[in-house]
Structure 1
Amino acid sequence: MVKIKSNTDGFRGINPVVTMGMFDGVHKGHEALLSLLVKKARESEGESVVLTFWPHPRIILEQDPGNLRLLTTLEEKTFLLSDAGVDHIIILPFTKELSRLPAEEFIKQYLLGKIGMKHLVAGYNHRFGHGGITKAQLKELSERYHFGIDFFGPTLVGGVKPSSTTIRKLIADGDVWEASKLLGRFYSLKGRIVGGRRLGREIGYPTANIKMEDPLKLIPHDGVYACRVHLLGQYFGGMINIGGRPTVDGDSGPKSLEVHIFDFSREAYAEEITVEFIKRTRPEIKFPNLEALKEKLKKDEADVRMILKNSSIL
């Protein structure tokens, strides 16, 4: 069972094999690196260690934190890293003091001094320490301080290098289907169901209004999406609308996340809900009246049910 620590104090591990990074999204590239990490640890009869950081450095260093959006919350990231089969996860608090530490000092103080690292698995484009460090410099440090090193990657998925930046852009553009290929799973949002105006019920399409749990979580581009919903211990198909509800609230309405859950008729206010985004079916549209909206929703439902059927989602 994975052991999770919120700092490096008192860490104990057997012949630790370490990798480190933000691991936002824990995508297919990360998964391949973690697989190598676990393999190297087993070969050396050691234990695999993932060192990650929180909060995100951009928040601490005040690098446009207002526009920062992440693929995974800390809870989601920790779960996905645990699911990769590693032995230890260390969530190191990121501070301004830490950001000023040169790579060599970080290796000496943290990786060697506190973790006792025997081997480092480094991503091909991972840079750390104040001012960064090159591959050649890192190799030289491994020889000087007597730890093994492997450089991993890049991995290709359909000819594309998975990266958190690439995946964020796809999702921000609404292309959740392509993003899912690089993630290795469907992108999801988690929140709680809150009360709404119940207008959807009046036109035959009741919706669950979702309040997000983490304001840093990236929300896909406005529009209608086919989705899978996890609610009350069960999975359902559904369609979710993201946007300002222009037909009802005009062009300046607040952004909302409203999901119509197929074959579900229970009250579920305040319940936790997870929505997995399968595919965007259309942009948000302003209709002349509610009747036109209702007719379009019928077409949306038929399109979404076909997507779910063809994709064998449920």
Structure 2
Amino acid sequence: MVKIKSDIEGFQATRPVLTMGMFDGVHKGHLALLTSLIQKAKQINGESVVLTFWPHPRIVLSQEPEKLRLLTTLEEKTRLLSEAGIDHIIILPFTKEFSALSAQEFIQKYLAGKIGISHLIAGYNHRFGHGGISRPELEKLAEQHHFGLDFYGPVTIGGVKPSSTTIRRYISDGDVWEASGFLGRFYSIKGRIVGGKRLGRKLGYPTANIRMDESIKLIPHDGVYACKVHLLGKNYGGMLNVGGRPTIDGDNSEKSMEVHIFNFHREVYAEEIRVEFIMRTRPEIKFSNIDALKERLRKDEEEVNAILREKGIIRSL
């Protein structure tokens, strides 16, 4: 059972083998590094430790925080790290004072002083400490503080290095299927069902309007998506629209996220819902009239059902 701490004081672990970073998305590159971490811990009869930070440094340092959107909330990141089989997760509060520490001060105070590190596995491009630190400098500090050091990566998938930045770009463009190849899972969003204008019902396609739990979470590009819906302990197929309602409300309609759930006929409000984005089927379109919109929705339903069957997401719809 993983042990999670948000306070580093009194931390105890047997021969800690540690890696650190933001781990936004906990993608395939991260998972490969975590596998190496766990293997190293077993080799030296130690315990694996992930040191991560919250909130994101850009928020604390006021580096355009309004533009920052993340692949994982803190809750999601912690769950994914736990599922990877890590022994300890330390969520270190990121503050301005903390950001001013040099790499040497950070190692001396935290890694050696409070954690008692035995071995550090650093990502090939990971930089830490105020002003960063070079590989030779880090090797020297590891020798001074008597801990082992390995550099891991880079991992490539189809010749591309998986990175949180690359995955964010794919999702921002609506390429959620491509993003899933780097994540190792489908991108998902969790929220609550809230009341809407009930326009979908009038069109023959009632929808659940989703209010996200975290405003910092990245929303895929506007358009229609095939998705998998987790609601009330069951899984359903669905088609989800991100964007406004230009045909009904005009070009300046308020942006929303609503999903038509296949084979689901209950009215539910305030329930938790999670949707996994499988594939984008089309961009948002302004139709000439309501009948044209209804006809397109029928085609959307056919296309989404075909995708869900082809990808083996939902066996029977």
Tell me the distance in 2 between the aligned counterparts of 1:282 and 1:260. Answer: 16
Q: Which residue identity lines up with residue 312 of structure 2 in the other structure? A: S
The gaps in structure 1 that reach 5 residues or longer are none
After the TM superposition, which residues 240-259 of structure 1 pair with which residues of structure 2 at under 5 Å, given as runs?
240-259=240-259
Shift of 1:236: 0.3
Give the TM-score normalised by the residue count of structure 1.
0.99
Tell me the distance in 2 between the aligned counterparts of 1:245 and 1:73. Answer: 28
Shift of 1:95: 0.3
Q: Does 1:130 align with 2:130?
A: yes
Corresponding position of 2:39? 39
After the TM superposition, which residues 266-277 of structure 1 pair with which residues of structure 2 at under 5 Å, given as runs?
266-277=266-277
Q: Does 1:53 align with 2:53?
A: yes
Q: Deviations over 1:158-201 (max 9, x none)?
A: 21100000000000000001000000000000000000111111
Shift of 1:157: 1.1
Corresponding position of 1:100? 100
User: 3-state SS of the aligned residue for 1:224?
Assistant: strand
User: 3-state SS of the aligned residue for 1:70?
Assistant: coil
Q: Which residue identity lines up with residue 160 of structure 1 in the other structure? A: V
Tell me the distance in 2 between the aligned counterparts of 1:239 and 1:10. Answer: 49
Corresponding position of 2:72? 72
Shift of 1:137: 1.1
Corresponding position of 1:175? 175
Q: Does 1:232 align with 2:254?
A: no
Q: Which residue identity lines up with residue 25 of structure 1 in the other structure? A: G
The gaps in structure 2 that reach 5 residues or longer are none
Tell me the distance in 2 between the aligned counterparts of 1:56 and 1:111. Answer: 20
Q: Which residue identity lines up with residue 213 of structure 1 in the other structure? A: D
Larger mean Cα displacement after TM superposition, 254-263 or 140-149: 140-149
Q: Deviations over 1:70-119 (max 9, x none)?
A: 00000000000000000000000000001000001100100110011000
Shift of 1:289: 1.4
User: 3-state SS of the aligned residue for 1:41?
Assistant: helix
Shift of 1:135: 1.3
Tell me the distance in 1 between the aligned counterparts of 2:172 and 2:212. Answer: 16
Runs of 4 or more off by more than 4 Å in structure 1? Answer: none
Corresponding position of 1:295? 295
Tell me the distance in 2 between the aligned counterparts of 1:125 and 1:7. Answer: 27
Tell me the distance in 2 between the aligned counterparts of 1:309 and 1:297. Answer: 18
Tell me the distance in 2 between the aligned counterparts of 1:202 and 1:173. Answer: 30
Identical columns (%): 70
Give the TM-score normalised by the residue count of structure 2.
0.98
Aligned residue pairs, count: 314
Q: Which residue identity lines up with residue 22 of structure 2 in the other structure? A: M
User: 3-state SS of the aligned residue for 1:214?
Assistant: coil
Shift of 1:284: 0.1
User: 3-state SS of the aligned residue for 1:114?
Assistant: helix
Corresponding position of 1:165? 165
User: 3-state SS of the aligned residue for 2:79?
Assistant: helix
User: 3-state SS of the aligned residue for 2:120?
Assistant: strand
Corresponding position of 2:91? 91
Tell me the distance in 2 between the aligned counterparts of 1:293 and 1:70. Answer: 33
Q: Deviations over 1:8-40 (max 9, x none)?
A: 111010000000000000000000000000000
Tell me the distance in 1 between the aligned counterparts of 2:7 and 2:169. Answer: 31
Tell me the distance in 2 between the aligned counterparts of 1:168 and 1:7. Answer: 30
Shift of 1:237: 0.4
Q: Which residue identity lines up with residue 52 of structure 1 in the other structure? A: T
Shift of 1:134: 1.1
Tell me the distance in 2 between the aligned counterparts of 1:175 and 1:48. Answer: 34
User: 3-state SS of the aligned residue for 1:238?
Assistant: strand
Shift of 1:136: 1.5
After the TM superposition, which residues 173-252 of structure 1 pair with which residues of structure 2 at under 5 Å, given as runs?
173-252=173-252
Tell me the distance in 2 between the aligned counterparts of 1:84 and 1:65. Answer: 29
Shift of 1:277: 0.3
Q: Quote the RMSD (CA, aligned, Å).
A: 0.5
After the TM superposition, which residues 10-25 of structure 1 pair with which residues of structure 2 at under 5 Å, given as runs?
10-25=10-25
